[in-house]
Amino acid sequence: MAVSIYEAKTHLSQLIAQVEQTGQEVVIRRHNVPVAKLVPFRPVSPPRVLGGWEGQVVIHDDFDDLPADVAAAFAGSRP
């Protein structure tokens, strides 16, 4: 959607509500030339830090070993 600067000033609250509800961007034009864009706010998530639980979680040596009955169920041998 594109509007003139005059329309944007006159209907700013309505345009903001529309952007909030639909997520659609609004291009603001001066003399039919795009000069600005009204977009929905999306907060930036901080990057994940690897190893944040180091020393707090223990994975035992037999973690990957499945009991025979569970392995058989995955193989379709047991109901």
**What are the pLDDT digits (tens) for 59-71?**
889 888 888 888 8
Residue 38's DSSP bridge partners are: 26
- Measured from the Cβ of residue 3, the count of other Cβ atoms closer than 10 Å reads 17
**What are the pLDDT digits (tens) for 29-45?**
999 999 999 999 989 99
Residue ranges per structural domain of the chain? 2-38
Question: If we measure between CA atoms, which residue out of 32, 22, 44 comes closest to residue 2?
Answer: 32
- Measured from the Cβ of residue 16, the count of other Cβ atoms closer than 10 Å reads 13
Residue 58 has phi, psi (to 5 degrees) of: -115, 125
36 vs 79, which has greater pLDDT?
36
4 and 15 in contact (C-beta within 8 Å)? no
